[in-house]
Amino acid sequence: MIPQKTPKPKERGRLIVLSFLSALVCAAYILNLMNFQIVRGSEFQAQTQQLTVSKIAVKAARGEIVDCNGAALAENKVGFNIVFYYSFFPKAQQNRIISGLIGILEKNGENWYDPLPLTMEADPSFEADRDKDIETLRNKLGVNVYATASDCMYNLRELFGIDDSYDDLTARKIAGVRYGMVLADFSVNNNQYAFAEDVSTDTALLIKETSHLLPGVDIVDEDIRTYPQGGVAPHIVGVIGKMYAEEYYSTTDSEGNVLTEGYKDKGYKMDSLVGKMGVEQLMEAELHGVDGVKTVEQSKDGTIISEEVTTAPESGNNVVLTIDSAFQKKVQDILEAHILMLRERESDKDGDHGNKAEGGSIVVLDSKTGGILAAATYPSYDLNDYFSNYASIRDADFAPLNNRAFNGLYRPGSTFKTAVAAGALQEGIITPSETVNCQRVYRYYDILPGNQFRPTCLGYHGATNVMKALTVSCNIFFYDVGRRLGTEKMQEYAHLLGLGASTGVELNESIGGISGPQRSENLGKTWVQGDICQAAIGQMDTNVTPLQMAVQAMTLANKGTRYQAHLIKEVRSYDDSTVLSTTPATVLSEFPMTDETFEAIKEGMIGAAARVPAPYQLTDLGYDVALKTGTPQKNNTEFHSAAIAFAPADNADIAISVMLELGDNANYLIRQILDAYYGTGSSPEPTEEETVSSALPE
């Protein structure tokens, strides 16, 4: 056994001192704890109860819209927004605070959100073209449908406690902001309200400096939507804006079944910005992202104790279009320049020669996928002016808001003859070598007693086969062949080529229709047997869109294979690291076009291309171009100008359609479009002598 050592007196003293000090420290902690929990417990409990904890949305970055090469069409920039926080925004002082903010913004030339459909006047009236908003206002106020603007303003002042200390104009301004807060459901559940967006740095600093006078008001850094190429494809890109109350809530039928799902059920806040049209609206679910949450603790006197992002926001996804923005811009410029040139021409004894041109459209498709490379409409507008100058855009001549490429309906004129040729050749009605004798007047119906129907051609073409008929656009040939083909087969092949049928494009499109007995009956007309002759040359009641005409050209180029037209190339993650989805080339319909049929139609269209004069000629490009023109009637005295084409003719890369309203020489644009696509040559400057031609229907 090991013997134990006895501690020395010096070591024993140290142990006693350390034990004593430890006891003192423990006693101090115990006394302090008693002070917190027993002596001052009620005081600290009261302080704790005076803290306000708020959940504030942290906006997610909206995904970008880019072209096929990654060039931005809709992107984000960081801007300063003025926001109200419900929990800290004193009800009794709201009118004073809002009036002060409006004064600051007006002094600095800034705008604020005001959805009230009343003019900004001391004695306001209802704003024009806002019937739906006016109806919503009356419903919110609980007034009858006959309530005037003055009645509404009176009720707004009463509702929001805007007393006589505010003059009428100031009252109108305050009412607009307060009404916006109502529409946004500004409440405990929707704690943040955007009063003004993208204000200047000077305005933001001034509000920060005077924050002690503006409780519940803050400046936040948020992403602001911008359109760096606002004039490029605005009808396709679209815009975002405040949602309507009707969009926020789901609609149901009498049995409670959801007819339209509202944004509320999708997890949106009432003040969220959403796509209002175009791809911004179409791809809202991909672009929007998921907002995060910031938890804020604030003392009774308004001092922020702590703030923390407790749920991180999730950015939206990027949407990549099939559009090539540089090519789109060139196509838009080509279309605009031609129409402006037409308007400058003078009338002469032969007619107006397109100098009353109102507008037009060009569509270019990737022949191998159906992807839309360009879809130009003229006149057009800039997305950056859409909200700030909407009334001027809306009221401008020739309806620039109209997407003529997808929604404009026109007779196709002689471009339709390719559909008749395809049907007749495929069905064995004619052979490529079979001829019809054109002596300018079609006399087939003279077999009927007292016949007066003798449609005509523009020339005497003699013995004409299908190739020559397409080259010279012989009406007599197609009157006869169309009659023999019949309306049902004519409609069938028109639909197979994409005319009068859905193209499958993701945005809203018009469908139109192809002439026939049932269509005439639906339109309240009577079909007579001679009408098939006019139908065969693209007149009568046939109405198609420029997009459908481009699909027609693509399907001819593909020997009967019709791809779905599409704008969305793919969806990518916000950081572009991952491709989330891709739009494949999808076949909508196909028919087994024989080589004999294709060669006959192609040869006839190449012949038509060879007739285009210099400097717009299509014969020196190093490849063949297949072209068909048309002069569709708007009415008995006015005509449009149309063209479809594909190139190279043997193995097409692109398919093109051109439609000029009351225009002329659509075929002159084909070379310019090809040069823009392939990066060859330069667009020729037109002269009046080169462009004057007879405006007669082909």
- The predicted pLDDT at position 57 comes to 75
Helix (H) or strand (E) holding 469: helix 466-472
- pLDDT at 691 > cutoff 50: no
> How sure is the predictor about 268, in pLDDT bands with cuts at 50, 70 and 90?
confident
Mean pLDDT of all residues in 509-530: 95
CA pair distance 660, 173, nearest whole angstrom: 46
The pLDDT value recorded for residue 7 is 55
For the chain, first and last CA: distance in Å? 127
Tens of pLDDT, residues 347-399: 765 666 678 899 999 999 999 999 999 999 999 999 999 988 888 999 999 99
Tell me if residue 558 falls in helix, strand or coil: coil
Reply yes or no on whether the pLDDT at 59 is more than 50.
yes
pLDDT at 44: 52
- Res 2 pLDDT > 50: no
Least confident range of 249-253, 437-441, 464-468 = 249-253
- Residue (of 182, 206, 222) closest to 56 by Cα position: 222
Task: Please tell me what DSSP assigns to residue 312.
Answer: -
3-class secondary structure, 562: strand
pLDDT at 417 over 90: yes
pLDDT at 182: 92
Q: What is the spatial distance between Cα 157 and Cα 180, in angstroms, rounded to a whole number? A: 14
Confidence of residue 73 (pLDDT cuts 50, 70, 90): very high
E runs forming strands in 292-419? 292-298, 304-311, 318-321, 359-366, 372-378
In this structure, are residues 630 and 657 in contact, taking their beta carbons and an 8 Å threshold?
A: no
The pLDDT value recorded for residue 46 is 55
**pTM for this prediction:** 0.84
Average pLDDT of the residues in 218-226: 90
The per-residue pLDDT for 696 is: 44
**Structure confidence at residue 408 as a pLDDT band (50, 70, 90):** very high
Structure tokens at 316: 């939206």
C-alpha span between 283 and 163 (Å, rounded)? 45
Q: Residues 515-527: what's their mean pLDDT?
A: 94
- Note the pLDDT of residue 681: 59
Structure tokens at 163: 């007393």
63: confidence class by pLDDT, cuts 50, 70, 90 = very high
Local confidence band at 688 (pLDDT 50, 70, 90 cut-offs): very low
pLDDT beyond 80 at 230: yes
For residues 251 and 551, what is the distance between their CA atoms, to the nearest angstrom? 37
pLDDT of 683: 47
What percentage of the chain reaches a pLDDT higher than 70?
89
Mean pLDDT of 624-648: 95
**189-221 tens-digit pLDDT:** 778 899 999 999 999 999 999 888 899 999 988
Q: Helices 168-183 & 149-160, crossing angle to 10 degrees?
A: 80
Quote the pLDDT of residue 612: 96
State mean pLDDT over 567-589: 97
Question: What's the CA gap between 506 and 372, in Å, rounded?
Answer: 11
Closest CA to 318 of 344, 287, 356: 287
DSSP 476-527: HHHHHHHHHH-HHHHHHHHHHTTTTS----SS-----B--SHHHHHHTT---
CB 217, CB 83: distance < 8 Å: yes
Q: pLDDT-based confidence at 54, cuts 50/70/90?
A: confident
Q: For the range 297-301, what are the long-range contacts, defined as Cβ-Cβ under 8 Å and sequence gap of 24 or more?
A: 297/51, 297/52, 297/53, 298/51, 298/52, 298/53, 298/54, 298/87, 298/88, 299/50, 299/51, 299/52, 300/50, 300/51, 300/52
Q: For position 33, what pLDDT does the model report? A: 66
pLDDT greater at residue 292 or residue 378? 378
Mean pLDDT computed over every residue of the chain: 90
**What per-residue confidence (pLDDT) applies to 285?**
95
pLDDT for position 689: 45
Answer whether residue 420 shows pLDDT above 60: yes
Q: Is 36 a residue whose pLDDT tops 70?
A: no
Residue 498 predicted with pLDDT over 90: yes
According to DSSP, the residues that pair with 226 across neighbouring strands are 75
